[in-house]
Amino acid sequence: GQSLEQPSEVTAVEGAIVQINCTYQTSGFYGLSWYQQHDGGAPTFLSYNGLDGLEETGRFSSFLSRSDSYGYLLLQELQMKDSASYFCAAPTGGGNKLTFGTGTQLKVEL
Amino acid sequence: GAVVSQHPSWVICKSGTSVKIECRSLDFQATTMFWYRQFPKQSLMLMATSNEGSKATYEQGVEKDKFLINHASLTLSTLTVTSAHPEDSSFYICSARDDRANYGYTFGSGTRLTVV
């Protein structure tokens, strides 16, 4: 089956850097995406990795290692508004449907 | 960018009644839409894939007779929760893939269903 595992919770202070890991097991690989979701809201797209390496988008970066079936989301210069749930996600079922990871709740403290 | 509109944003219904949730792609055509369910503090779980003009494909363990999906046009998919029970109370989210984007899945704003 498909599985994407993440730590359940991460806490960091404002201004710090935090890394959220994702290890996956999927049949077929079509890339790894990251989404942010605030309480009661819809997931919003953050980043995508189709190939190994680092993708940078402002304060957010995402890394992928296909040989290790592993990726991470890096958030820099943390702000209070970054407190949210973060999900890795991968297309499965032949690349058509999106399966989400277990999710990580990030708490940013003063 | 691609926009998906979902409504209602919240609904309260009595046990035994049915509730319909709509999901529309506003500026693109979506031959495929997806329906997710999310319980508090949990991840999004895919319920079914909605295919325009054909039957939906349900994930294992999802009752197709309880969660009726209709995708009658390229811009509209509906999810009807039939004979709702309190355990169906959840956050339901639809998604569509904009084929113009390489990897973009756009999500609706979600529907909070409470069955009393």
Answer for the pair A44, A109: CB distance below 8 angstroms, yes or no.
no
B-chain CB neighbours of A42 within 8 Å are: 93, 107-110
User: Are A41 and B109 within 8 A, CB to CB?
Assistant: yes
A-chain CB neighbours of B102 within 8 Å are: 48
From first to last of its 116 residues, chain B has per-residue pLDDT tens of 789 999 999 999 999 999 999 999 998 888 899 999 999 999 999 999 998 888 999 999 999 999 999 998 999 999 999 999 999 999 999 999 877 765 678 999 999 999 99
| Mean pLDDT, residues A88-96 | 86
Whether the CB of A98 is below 8 Å from some CB of chain B: the reply is: yes
Ramachandran angles phi, psi of A64, nearest 5°: -135, 140
Considering only CA atoms, which of A65, A37, A41, A55 is closest in space to residue B102?
A: A55
Token reading at B81 = 């929760």
User: Are B109 and A44 within 8 A, CB to CB?
Assistant: no
Q: What is the pairing mode between strands A9-13 and A104-109?
A: parallel
pLDDT at A1 over 80: no
Answer for the pair A50, A36: CB distance below 8 angstroms, yes or no.
no
Disruptive mutation site among B6, B38, B105, B113 for chain A (greatest number of A CBs within 10 Å): B105
Cβ neighbours for A57, distance < 8 A, ≥ 6 positions apart: A46, A47
Answer for the pair A93, B35: CB distance below 8 angstroms, yes or no.
no
Token reading at A1 = 């089956």
